[in-house]
Amino acid sequence: MKEKIRHLIQNTLHDLNVSGADFSVEHTADFSHGDYATNVALVSAKAVKTSPHALAEKIAGHLETKLPSEIEKVEVAGAGFINFTLSAAFLSVALKNAASSPNTFGNATTHANTKVIVEYTDPNPFKEFHIGHLMSNTIGEAISRLIASRGAEVKRACYQGDVGLHVAKALYGAKQANPKNASEWGKAYALGASLYEENESAKKEIEIINKAIYERNDSVLNALYDGGRKVSLEYFETIYKRLGTHFDFYFFESEMSKPGLTLVREFLKKGVFEESNGVLVFKAEKYNTKLHTRVYITSQGLPTYETKELGLHFTKAKTYPADQSIIITANEQDSVYAVGLEALRHIDPKLFEKTKHLSHGMLRLPTGKMSSRTGNVITAEWLIDEVKGKVREKIAERDFAPDEKEKITEAVAIAAIKYSILRQAVGGDIIFDFEKSISFEGDSGPYLQYAYVRAMSVLQKAQTAEVRGTDAESAAADGNIELARRLVRFPDVVARAAEEYAPHYLVTYLTEFASAFNNFYARVKIIGSPDEAALLALTRAVSTVLKNGLTLLGMPVVERM
RNA sequence: GCCUCCGUAGUUCAAUGGACAGAACACUGGACUUCUAAGCCAGUUAUGUAGGUUCGAUUCCUACCGGAGGCACCA
């Protein structure tokens, strides 16, 4: 709808012979200003040498002569805004769509026939799956779903560091602690990491182990390594299942050395990389003064993270030739990616154009940075279970069967956690305070789930909840119902959230929408009302928006709670 | 030192260069006792400082103050 209005204005500008500056078409903040507003007169007035208000009147006058059926009226307001009010006919069609095509309302086909690969989470085997990974996973999953809702084919990828110094530290610790499960491996890592700092001989042995891992020439070590890797990976799968996520491709750091090294050597000859102080480097500052030099092959001849990442770009492209490759990491890696992508630009410009790095903020504890090295770490599993405990207290007196109770408890806990991550713009840090960060009231995941539960409760109680076209029409005709006007914005909001990789737009919208529904629910008795059929149609449409919205964000939906 | 990001109510977050800067938590008061009260209604409180650009700046530019991250062989 937003695009339709934009085109309408563009045509009008053309007819009036007004040069079109960059204008916006946006949802109004207040429904008394209609449904959409444009600032076109404000931005163009100067070029035409008239007052904004006069130009607005002129444009609006022209628009009125050829209004499509979706628009009820056009008005000039304020300093020169032109406001558009949607017609009951349009609202009725949209409500009918939402009520009768629950699985597709909000989707679009703007990106049909495009292939997208999204890399996120990237936990390291042998180490904990901590709340930072939880953050990356939550954001990555929401973005993946949003992109898929545009009609694109989305594949999810996870890149895991199964070699490197951190693994050597874990193995060194494991030799002493003999870990059996993922959590004990996490402790073995912490032990190895602290001995590496404190003890010279431990440090030396860890470095020997590190080399042996690359060469795989020690059968005892190999057995320990293979066992630990398997335990970690299986453990990660149990977490993905709980979070409602999955991966189509797993890439391992151990497999990226070879393709990475080949590329670096090839492009050393072509002058992209160069030798400096006994190491091979890429001097990114030669192309962009804000970037810096990074090492690709160490003095020992080992590939660094940067080299493996380069190998990863090409391995992904080979595995799944995507039109767009998105990588989601924490923002502490911003400069690494800026340099790495600059190198890619000189190696394969086409692949560079397709690749996009997005970063999210850090989850920090009120006490400072979370570190798995010192053991000052909160694991994802601990957090989920802790939150579940609180949900369990709330649900204790409810009369649900034990297994349904358990299912609801898990779903509410996951939604509460995911909401706390997705509610704010991607990129900012989250100061993680357990008591304050996870909420069940007000702006929260459970608030959204609860609104859906209420809608479902009404629909189930109603004798018939089948939606007829005439019901949607009468629901839309009730001018007092701001809820319907809010509801039809859903597709625009999803589109924007997907285009800008910004799930929080959808979160904000859903929260306001749920609030509008709760207000309606408290004010209007639906069942038994003279308008019952129309109100049920509206409620049905509301349930669609809440369900689809939650699902797009990767939050579980429950029918009762 | 250099580079990047960020400073909005007591707190945690929104706001596409636009129309009175929105929520929630907390605090105070209220309604119903009717489809689930994890709910609804009402109230108090905010753009770090100083300039600039603009018809209009929380948003763009400059400086300063404050915070976070990064800056050659960790990832």
**What is residue A187's predicted lDDT score, i.e. its pLDDT?**
87
**What is residue A465's predicted lDDT score, i.e. its pLDDT?**
61
**What is residue A370's predicted lDDT score, i.e. its pLDDT?**
58
Cα angle A374, A378, A383; round to 5: 170
**What is residue A376's predicted lDDT score, i.e. its pLDDT?**
62
Answer yes or no: is pLDDT of A368 > 60. no
Q: Per-residue pLDDT averaged across A6-34, rounded?
A: 87
Q: Name the nt closest to A28 by C-alpha to C1'.
A: B19
Distance in angstroms (rounded) separating the CA atoms of residues A90 and A80: 26
CA of A22 to C1' of B52 (A): 23
Answer yes or no: is pLDDT of A453 > 90. yes
pLDDT one-digit tens code per residue, A55-112: 999 999 999 988 899 999 999 988 889 999 999 889 989 998 998 888 899 999 999 9
**What is residue A366's predicted lDDT score, i.e. its pLDDT?**
62
Q: Which residue is nearest to nucleotide B23 (CA to C1')?
A: A443
Distance in angstroms (rounded) separating the CA atoms of residues A112 and A56: 37
pTM for the whole structure: 0.94
- What ipTM does this complex have? 0.95
For a pLDDT cut of 70, what percent of chain A falls above it?
96
Answer yes or no: is pLDDT of A27 > 70. yes
Q: Of A499 and A467, which is predicted with more confidence?
A: A499
Query: Within 13 Å, how many C-alpha atoms sit on residue A157's CB side?
Result: 23
Window 258-287 of chain A: CB closer than 7 A to strand B: 276-279, 281
Residue closest to A256 by CA, chosen among A343, A161, A129, A122: A161
**What is residue A25's predicted lDDT score, i.e. its pLDDT?**
93
Q: Per-residue pLDDT averaged across A155-183, rounded?
A: 91
Answer yes or no: is pLDDT of A14 > 90. no
Whether A131 contacts A382, CB under 8 Å: no
Distance in angstroms (rounded) separating the CA atoms of residues A542 and A536: 10
CATH tag for A2-86 (out of 3.40.50.2000, 3.30.1360.70, 3.30.70.141, 3.30.2320.30): 3.30.1360.70
CA of A25 to C1' of B50 (A): 35
Q: Of A470 and A188, which is predicted with more confidence?
A: A188
Q: Is the CB of A436 under 7 A from strand B?
A: yes
DSSP letter for A327, please: E
**What is residue A109's predicted lDDT score, i.e. its pLDDT?**
96
For a pLDDT cut of 90, what percent of chain A falls above it?
64
The kind and range of the H/E element at A310 are helix A305-319
Residues 6+ apart with CB under 8 A from A421: A134, A135, A138, A139, A430
Q: Six-digit token pair at A94?
A: 């949209």
Whether A248 contacts A239, CB under 8 Å: no
Whether A355 contacts A344, CB under 8 Å: yes
Window 318-337 of chain A: CB closer than 7 A to strand B: 331-336
DSSP letter for A247, please: -
Q: Is the CB of A49 under 7 A from strand B?
A: no
Which CATH number describes the domain made up of A416-424+431-552?
1.10.730.10
**What is residue A104's predicted lDDT score, i.e. its pLDDT?**
93
Q: Per-residue pLDDT averaged across A442-449, rounded?
A: 94
Q: Per-residue pLDDT averaged across A410-425, rounded?
A: 95
- Position A470 confidence tier, pLDDT thresholds 50, 70, 90: confident
Residue closest to A257 by CA, chosen among A205, A314, A199: A314
Q: Is the CB of A41 under 7 A from strand B?
A: no
How many CB atoms are located within 10 Å of the residue A324 CB? 17
Distance in angstroms (rounded) separating the CA atoms of residues A541 and A264: 55
Window 137-196 of chain A: CB closer than 7 A to strand B: 161, 164-166
Give first-to-last CA distance, chain A, whole Å: 35
Pairing relationship of beta strands A153-160 and A249-252 according to DSSP bridges: parallel
Amino acid identity at A54:
A
In what side-by-side order are the strands of the sheet with A274-276? A274-276, A279-283, A293-297
Q: Of A21-25, A328-332, A510-514, give the lowest mean pLDDT range.
A: A21-25
Q: Six-digit token pair at A203?
A: 């440090």
CA of A30 to C1' of B43 (A): 21
**What is residue A529's predicted lDDT score, i.e. its pLDDT?**
86
**What is residue A458's predicted lDDT score, i.e. its pLDDT?**
94
Q: Name the nt closest to A445 by C-alpha to C1'.
A: B38
Residue closest to A160 by CA, chosen among A222, A229, A259: A229
Q: Six-digit token pair at A250?
A: 């797993």
The residues pairing with A158 across neighbouring beta strands, listed in sequence order, are A250
**What is residue A515's predicted lDDT score, i.e. its pLDDT?**
95
Q: Is the CB of A561 under 7 A from strand B?
A: yes
Amino acid identity at A130:
H
Q: Per-residue pLDDT averaged across A150-162, rounded?
A: 96
Show the beta-strand stretches assigned E in A139-214.
153-160
Distance in angstroms (rounded) separating the CA atoms of residues A467 and A289: 62
**DSSP calls for A288-306:** -TT--EEEEE-TTS-B-HH
Q: Per-residue pLDDT averaged across A537-560, rounded?
A: 95
**DSSP calls for A427-490:** TS-EE--HHHHS-SSSSSHHHHHHHHHHHHHHHHHSS--PPPHHHHHHHHH-TT-HHHHHHTTH
The kind and range of the H/E element at A64 are helix A52-64
